[in-house]
Amino acid sequence: MFSNLEIQGRITLTAPLTTTGSLTLTAGARLELNGQPLIVGGQLITAVTEGALPVIVGDANSPFLASGVNVNGLVVNGAPVTINGGALTRFDNVSFSGLAPDAVQLTINNPGLVTHFPMNGISFSTLPTTGLFVQASDTLGAGPLLILDVLGAVPADGSAFTATSGGGQVSLTITGGTWGRVWSPADLSTACAICQWPRTPRTTQLDFPLSW
């Protein structure tokens, strides 16, 4: 177990890797999970201004969990990513490739933010069958909302491969120039029944502009 860890060059895990603090991948770094779990207690950090993007290589048997992210430039090959409850500073220019079509490629669990969280230049090369591009979960029943804005991403319309959850009070809203999953009448009926609370009903919203 490490506190804060920086990886330069190529590393192949032979045992589980856990950090209590941040994990920083420098330009050109390559981290091969090799069937081992990677758990980052702080933020996953990249800040590539020149040189090759850092790469994380794994598979469905290599759980990759980070509490938070401050990422600008990353290639994820084969490893589903979970961002679990910590600080969301940045998550830009990230490419997902080589994942199984039944995998949830990116999971974000968060208690909510005081503002939207933009994710710029995200791309997914594997079209899901039973899996998803994004699963977003609002984990707190009070406080600010969890709203994700996916901008300039590929493919242009991933609404069929996104899902949200959050105590039964999650909606995915379409506004001008965005796409999303439309609730069925049964969904809306359930939501209205759940939202009879003495406070403003809670909503998690995913905004995916068509320029995604």
Q: What is the pLDDT of residue 162?
A: 85
CB neighbour list of residue 22: distance below 8 Å, 6 or more residues apart: 4, 5, 40, 42, 43, 44, 45
Give residue 165's pLDDT.
81
Q: CB–CB of 63/89 below 8 Å?
A: no
β-strands 64-77, 38-47 pairing: parallel
Query: Can you spell out the DSSP letters for 122-168?
Result: -EE-SPPSSSEEEEEEE--SSSS--EEEEES-BSS--GGGEEEESTT
182-190 long-range contacts, CB within 8 A, separation 24+ = none
Instruction: Check: CB of residue 77 under 8 Å from CB of residue 57.
Output: yes
Q: Are 120 and 93 in contact, with CB atoms under 8 Å apart?
A: yes
Per-residue pLDDT of the chain (212 residues; tens, 9 = 90+): 889 999 999 999 999 999 999 999 999 999 999 999 999 999 999 989 889 999 999 998 888 999 999 999 999 999 999 999 999 999 999 999 999 999 999 999 999 888 888 888 889 999 999 999 999 988 887 778 888 888 887 887 777 888 888 743 333 333 333 334 333 334 333 433 333 333 344 445 555 443 34
Residues facing residue 25 across a β-bridge: 7
Distances (CA, A) of 119 to 5, 171, 174, 190, 200: 24, 19, 17, 30, 27
- How would you label 7-23 residue by residue, b for 16+ Cβ within 10 Å and e otherwise? beeebebeeebebeebb
Q: Tell the residue number behind the tokens 């609370």, with chain if given.
A: 197
pLDDT of residue 205: 56
